[in-house]
Amino acid sequence: MYFVNFVNPELDFLRYRKDPRVTYHAKTIGFANIWIIAREKIDVDGDIIFEGPRSDYHTSYAPHHSWVRALEIMRKMIEEFDPGDYILKKYIQTHFDEFIEWDEKYELLYKYFKYDLRKPFAPVMRKGVSGSKLYKFLEKLPETCTIATSYYPESLSAYESYFYMFETDYEDFLIDLFSELPTTASFFKVSDKLFAQVYIPEKLAKNTELQLSKKLYIPLLMVDLLKKGIIKSKEYSIIEYSKGKSL
């Protein structure tokens, strides 16, 4: 993964659409203006803010409660946090030194099902994949891939996509904290940084009345996290638009 500042990010976004090594990239506003995911190390000619291999993803299961209730729970969690009681749960895993069985048929099936596991079987079987191969692939899928179903009850366009980069000694607490949001959040690590992508209603993410400590807004929670020493630093970007390629 690469988090980069380019002089003309709109032009570079278009340029990376044509790079076959890039599987996903986004135009952002914040600590970086382009986020790139590549299948291999690439030469990037912008100002690289941060880069490195990514861990596995961890995806939240969005609870069924309101935004007000979610923020009340989160605030209480921060208030009651005690470093002495913190237990590392190891939500995020890495498998950099592991190898799995993966042939051309598995790669074909992976590309076919990558964005939608509900696709019918017939089209991919017409490409020479046997039924036994297909069912073996699906059976082993939890061991070889991350499977995630996202939930955005008011439709994705109703939320702002925020992308946080945290420096923390309490990554699993932060994962539990942001998993209280009633939309899907996803988490991963690059080196020693924890990244969280969350989808938040604009009115809760952009309030500037930070002196009103009784209000329930995301910026106030960030202030509390810093005051309690739960996070050492944080940066964020807002994702304007993105492109995930059909491989």
State whether 208 and 106 are in the same domain. yes
State whether 36 and 66 are in the same domain. no
Q: How far apart are CA 193 and CA 184, in angstroms?
A: 20
Candidate from 50-59, 131-140, 152-161 with smallest mean pLDDT = 152-161
Q: How far apart are CA 242 and CA 35, in angstroms?
A: 9
State whether 210 and 142 are in the same domain. yes
The one-letter code for the residue type at 110 is Y
Torsional class of 155: left (φ above 0), alpha (ψ -120 to 50), beta (otherwise): left
pLDDT exceeds 90 at position 216? no
Consecutive H or E run containing 25: strand 22-30
pLDDT, tens digit (0-9, with 9 covering 90-100), for 170-194: 999 999 999 999 999 999 999 999 9
Looking at the DSSP bridge assignments, the partners of residue 48 are: 4
Q: What is the mean pLDDT of residues 124-133?
A: 95
% of the chain residues with pLDDT over 90: 71
Number of domains in the chain: 2
Identify the three-state secondary structure at position 131.
Answer: helix
State whether 46 and 87 are in the same domain. no
Domain that holds residue 141: 53-236
What is the per-residue pLDDT for 220? Answer: 86
State whether 22 and 119 are in the same domain. no
pLDDT exceeds 90 at position 89? yes
Residue 52 tokens, joined: 């490195």
Torsion of CA 221, 225, 228, 234, to 10 degrees: -150
Q: What is the mean pLDDT of residues 149-169?
A: 91
% of the chain residues with pLDDT over 70: 94
- The answer as to whether 243 is a domain residue is no
